[in-house]
Amino acid sequence: MSVCLLESQSVRVYLDISPYWPKDAEGEPRSVNSIYEEIRGTPEEVGRNTLRLALEGNLDRGYFSNQVKLARLCSKWSGQNITPDDILKIE
């Protein structure tokens, strides 16, 4: 993907995983802490704050590896192939 932006344009780039966030038995979104405890010690482990910010659509900086890990988690949750580009938002 190639994006060309003029320097004078303001752009917001962030990750948003909310469409893929798992729900509990009652259909409510699971807590960040429950998800963190589930992924702790796995190859997809990311911090609680990273999960919270990505769920809120406010993760706008961090390690590139976290974007890959979050996309893999979203793939597991949704049963679809979610790529890092799918969770990357550019406004």
Summary mean pLDDT of the chain: 92
Q: In this structure, is residue 26 part of a structural domain?
A: yes
Residue 13 DSSP SS3: strand
Number of domains in the chain: 1
Span 35-68, pLDDT tens digits: 999 999 999 999 999 999 999 999 999 999 999 9
Q: In this structure, is residue 1 part of a structural domain?
A: no
Q: In this structure, is residue 55 part of a structural domain?
A: yes
Q: In this structure, is residue 30 part of a structural domain?
A: yes
- What sign does the dihedral 12-44-51-20 (CA atoms) show? positive
Q: Can you say how many angstroms the Cα of residue 8 is from the centroid of all Cα atoms in its chain? A: 28
Q: How many CA atoms, within 13 angstroms, populate the side-chain half-sphere of residue 8?
A: 0
Segment holding 36, helix H or strand E: helix 32-39
Full domain range(s) for residue 81: 13-90
Distances (CA, A) of 14 to 37, 41, 87, 91: 24, 25, 8, 9
State yes or no: pLDDT of 2 exceeds 70: no
Q: In this structure, is residue 17 part of a structural domain?
A: yes
CATH number at residue 29: 1.10.260
